[in-house]
Amino acid sequence: MAKKVKVNGQIIPEDAIQFELERLVRFYTESGVTEAQIKERLAELVERATEQAIGTKLLMDEAGRRNVPVSEDEIEKQLDKVIEQVGGVDNFKAALAQQQIDEVAFRKQLEQGQRIDSLIQEAAKSVSDPTEKELKEFYEQNKDDFKTAERVLAQHILISPDGTENSSKEEALRRIEAIRARIVDGTPFADEAAEHSMCPSGKEGGSLGWFSRGMMVPEFDSSVFAMNVGDVSEVVETQFGYHLIFKTDHETAAEASYADSRDKVLELLRHSKRGKAVTAFVETLKTGASIEYLEG
């Protein structure tokens, strides 16, 4: 994690920096950047997340100073969207309880976010979309970033020992070997996963969805990528316990064409241009702010 930062006399919480880091990682992941590429840039992303957290604090203070108006209708829309995303009112209330805040406090957070968004929109309102020439040039200079990564589709079953004793490990191994024997004899893998897997994915028949190299622990990763499609693995031991893997599909890495990548390039450059405009605005706010980078 980056150094602690104090802005206008207040420490930026670590979870605020983590939140910005997760937003950056999510954005680049959705834009086609692979997990391996993100790992290579992690130190840079942490620094960017720290600066974004500083910017958010300054925008928050400026929005409060200007008393930027936010309508109740907009807050209600945002609240409805959050409730839908978490799967309903009951899940929403449970999430609030877990975070130890009530709905009044959460609404204030939404209001604060809307105020900041309004400031950002104001700062970026004059930014135009990148031209077709800019899009093509960026694609040609960064083709490797738009490759489709090698990935697999798989299901798994996990049996974890009850403890660290040899007897616990032996019992877990016997259980998973018996499960494998039943699968080989014709019992559907998904049925065994649903009934016996100790991983939450068991509820979905053990489905892990699509994943690329490096996303799983090394022992699991090396096994699944070496398997043939349609095969069930031998027992694979990892730090989590014993696994069986059923590999259902495999896609090799491939270069994506400009046509296939255009939307991703557009979003990246649009994000970059708007980011520069907001950064310039935040820089003006920094001139009147007290910012201290602390050790530890």
For 157-211, write each residue's pLDDT tens digit: 999 998 777 888 999 999 999 999 999 999 999 999 999 999 999 999 999 999 9
Phi, psi of 257, rounded to the nearest 5 degrees: -70, 165
CA distance 117 to 124: 10
Q: What's the pLDDT score for residue 2? A: 55
**What average pLDDT does this structure show over 72-100?**
89
Would you identify the CATH topology of the domain 150-251? Chitinase A; domain 3 (3.10.50)
**What average pLDDT does this structure show over 229-251?**
95
Q: How do residues 33-68 score in pLDDT, each as one tens digit?
A: 777 788 888 888 988 899 889 988 998 888 888 888
How do the domains of the chain map onto residue ranges?
Answer: 4-143+257-294, 150-251
CA distance 96 to 109: 12
SS3 state at 282: helix
Task: Give the residue among 56, 44, 43 at the shortest CA–CA distance from 15.
Answer: 56
Q: How do residues 118-157 score in pLDDT, each as one tens digit?
A: 888 888 888 899 999 999 999 999 888 887 788 999 999 9
Q: What's the pLDDT score for residue 296? A: 55
SS3 state at 138: helix
Residue 294 contacts residue 172 (beta carbons within 8 Å): no
Question: pTM to 2 decimals?
Answer: 0.49
**What average pLDDT does this structure show over 248-258?**
89
Would you identify the CATH topology of the domain 4-143+257-294? Triger factor/SurA peptide-binding fold (1.10.4030)
